[in-house]
Chain A
């Protein structure tokens, strides 16, 4: 029986270069190809050992896919590969302007809640935050390419703040829907 080894490093597993930019079409294609080969459905008539391996292999594939699909997690993973481990709870941002901006975004969300059409108003704030997030992505791609790891780290920490804002918007929208 032929034996296959699966790399556990996300980019290697998906046959992608170790860089921030990822072609979503290629990513999805690779994901499907890997799943088609290793999904437990392909192993229902095999031994228990092989079934177990299939579960482990697809767990890894799913985790890598989810991580690579999400730009913040992808950036974070790249930093980890470069030896920089982030702690979302403990690492802090000193950038005062940025923190004041965050406060203003929170206020924008609160104002949106007072709007006559709060769901739409929240959507709009979400879109604005998304636009800022997109510029941070391209900034990350640049500093990563220049190997400016400290700045890259700061960007990833900032991205977490924007993600939390989006989570808050979602939570509020769900509450309004219910």
Chain B
């Protein structure tokens, strides 16, 4: 079997036993990429030569020695483009490594390529990319989810073993769910954001997209920890995750938030989630009904706060210092107008305008400041729920992957794709999405497990136990 189908954990064992060489993994991945990338278009950039060179020098004694990893195209790596799938960063090459990238390098991994995304991570389908559509490996007429759609499609399509993504409102978990892989959004402050091009600074987190929970834990162990370059990272000492895998959920209190099970939701999704809950009960966990009463406000709060922060974060793209610069500008104001009008796509403009509005004099009290207050209430919802349970179990996405183009004209409908993931970003908690079933038309369904803040170990153990007693991993997308 092609090594492209293996997990990182397995490949590491085979590398250490000298059964295979890192170049063998790359060779198989590139064969697979040559066959499938044309359809999927998961990548914006591939490091063919540098990856092969790195494979020859790989230090197998390191935790990720010899393992190729793909990066979402909003993570800076020294000397490489960092497009954020936007025309405005045309020609830009990063002069530094993101902390997450240097941690991967220090752990011995090989940078394989950069993955497609919604422009500046704004979107839920990867259709907002200026660099082309990415397709869902299970059905190429459908979206892969977003914004880390390229990362999810690459991992699920077996053209990457694992990839990093970023999650501001569900951008790791939702594409992971729609592509049938494992996506982890760590607790805010767990992983350094230094070098991740900011969308909404108080919500963004970098996390892994992998085939298995074990691989997810492996990557999180490398990425987690305080970074003196990121003031918002937590000071707790580094941790290694999922070092013990007893596969048990005995005694675990699993909360089912009633606001996440609504009448009229996709029936196949609902029944897959209900059977997942049943599995937990059968295996010794207790199911608890809980409430997160402010859930209905989450989307509104999110689209105020995230856009407010984005309006400032994206102000720096002005054509003065780097990236695209409009030609024939009359003066500096005209340069700003033209560069930004030409460089940004419609969704990014929509969010910048919305964010500028909610911060404006006379409106900030009603929108921005009010939303901050509601955000505090949302956070309290979670704190209260976690006094009653150890984990929350919910669907990741209200429905499986939808057809390409279906929602591009209806932003509000698109925003609803993140209805189950957004609250965790606002509260700062960590959460994972992992496969829990398939629809009749063979589309993956994702299960979300949300933990208390810094409760990744609990999340990963439960997710691993669930994964081990199911065989979703055996199911492959059509090639």
Q: Do A and B bind each other?
A: no
List A residues at the B interface (Cβ < 8 Å).
Answer: none
List B residues at the A interface (Cβ < 8 Å).
Answer: none
